Amino acid sequence: MTKYVALLFVAFVGCNNNPERILGSAPPIDIVLADPTSFDSAQWPAGQYILQSAALEGDILSLRVRCSTQSPADFQLVAWNYWLESNPVQVYAFLSFQPDTVNAGAAEVTVAFNLAPLKEAYRAAYQTQSGVIRFHVRYLEPSRAELRYEF
Distance CA 140, CA 48 (A): 9
Q: HSE, CB side, 13 Å, CA atoms: give it for residue 73.
A: 0
Locate the domains of the chain by residue range: 2-150
Q: pLDDT, tens digit, for every residue of 44-102?
A: 777 777 888 999 999 999 998 887 766 666 788 999 888 899 999 999 998 887 666 55
Q: Is the pTM of this model over 0.85?
A: no
Task: Indicate if the pLDDT at residue 125 is higher than 90.
Answer: yes
Fold annotation for 2-150 = Immunoglobulin-like (2.60.40)
